[in-house]
């Protein structure tokens, strides 16, 4: 069993469902409301664990009831939470989510709070501890992170994971306010972004497969070995190779009925990391990741919507 260390956020999602997105200045009557555990970190960690990886999560929550709720769930999902610390001065991260019943899309505002206080030494300790637990030297070790914690934490994680010989995956979401430095991309084996994030990082619109190729070439020039751009109903794009001679491969879309896109990207990233940790080649890992993302879209919620390995294999068999 491979090892996946996820550095990321733990956020309490306050979710409202509405017939459509409100217009600026409009108060819109909603149809439902719920409180859920979320954050890209815990979502991706649970997704990887459900697909069979040995997972450790690195993060930070407050000393409040929102923070209390995460630990029983992590234990139930077999995710090691020994490096999820409690902050006595900053509250747990919170997000406000609006889901449009018109098309299943969502709009999210996040207040990271304690997630921005994850210290670098905690990340280093988690990486060392994970490698110490490897049962066989040939087992793969994956480091997966996003941009919902402090830049110090994920830059430390990528640098230290590279030093330790781990495969590094950066899901550059959400795009941080400060530009990501080129030296950070040089530490990334696999960069995963959606069309909005790819456009923000490349400085050009990404609406088609062709425009995604152009953006991917610009991103490859910044240093990652592979660039994955997810394109929703258009599938996705896998680009690799030297910037002067890139190779592109389309990732076909899996036809589904969209209900809630809240954690689709997190399911994709978690499944990708789990599959690579189990020794699967990148092409097969991307197929499993696409299936995991597609299944997640067919259900409501974040953690509740994440699929199991059996469900992913059943979808791929079809």
The closest of 63, 190, 180, 183 to 117, measured between CA atoms, is 63
- Is 266 labeled as catalytic in the residue annotation? yes
How far apart are the C-alpha atoms of 34 and 27, rounded to whole Å? 18
Which of 80, 87, 189, 266 is catalytic? The answer is 266
Count of residues making up the chain: 318
Token duo for residue 313: 């294999």
How far apart are the C-alpha atoms of 7 and 45, rounded to whole Å? 9
Contact predicate 188/224, CB 8 Å: yes
Identify the residue whose tokens are 């400085």.
203
Contact predicate 312/295, CB 8 Å: yes
Contact predicate 126/56, CB 8 Å: yes
Q: Which residues pair with 47 in a beta bridge?
A: none
Angle of helix 120-132 relative to helix 151-163, nearest 10 degrees? 30
- Kindly report the number of other CB atoms within 10 A of residue 146's CB atom: 25
**For residue 265, what is the enclosing H or E element?**
helix 264-277
φ, ψ dihedrals at 2, nearest 5°: -75, 170
Identify the residue whose tokens are 């020994």.
82
CB-based burial of residue 206 (10 Å sphere; 0-12 exposed, 13-18 middle, 19+ buried)? Answer: buried
Residues whose CB falls within 8 Å of the CB of residue 284, separated by 6 or more in sequence, listed in order: 275
The closest of 231, 169, 158, 197 to 45, measured between CA atoms, is 169
The residues annotated as belonging to the active site are: 266
């Amino acid at each position: 069993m491979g090892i996946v260390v996820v550095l990321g956020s733990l956020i309490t999602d306050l979710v409202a469902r509405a017939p459509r997105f409100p217009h600026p200045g409009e108060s819109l009557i909603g149809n439902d409301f719920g409180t859920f555990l979320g954050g890209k970190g815990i979502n991706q960690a649970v997704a990887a664990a459900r697909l069979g990886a040995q997972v450790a999560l690195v993060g930070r929550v407050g000393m409040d009831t929102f923070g209390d709720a995460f630990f029983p769930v992590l234990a139930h999902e077999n995710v090691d939470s020994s490096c999820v610390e409690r902050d006595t001065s900053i509250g747990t991260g919170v997000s406000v989510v609006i889901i449009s019943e018109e098309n299943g899309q969502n709009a999210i505002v996040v207040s990271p709070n304690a997630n921005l206080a994850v210290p670098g030494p905690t990340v280093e300790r988690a990486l060392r501890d994970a490698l110490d637990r490897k049962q066989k030297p040939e087992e793969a070790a994956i480091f997966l992170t996003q941009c919902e914690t402090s830049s110090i934490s994920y830059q430390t994680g990528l640098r230290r994971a590279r030093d330790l010989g781990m495969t590094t995956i950066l899901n550059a979401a959400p795009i941080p306010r400060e530009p990501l430095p080129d030296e950070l991309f040089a530490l990334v084996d696999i960069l995963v972004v959606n069309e909005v994030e790819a456009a923000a990082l490349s400085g050009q619109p990404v609406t088609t497969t062709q425009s995604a190729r152009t953006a991917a070439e610009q991103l490859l020039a910044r240093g990652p070995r592979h660039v994955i751009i997810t394109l929703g109903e258009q599938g996705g794009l896998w680009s690799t190779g030297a910037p002067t001679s890139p190779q592109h491969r389309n990732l076909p879309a899996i036809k589904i009925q969209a209900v809630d896109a809240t954690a689709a990207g997190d399911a994709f990233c978690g499944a990708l990391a789990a599959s690579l940790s189990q020794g699967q080649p990148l092409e097969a890992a991307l197929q499993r990741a696409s299936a995991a993302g597609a299944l997640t879209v067919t259900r409501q919620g974040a953690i509740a919507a994440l699929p199991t390995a059996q469900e992913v294999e059943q979808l791929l068999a079809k």
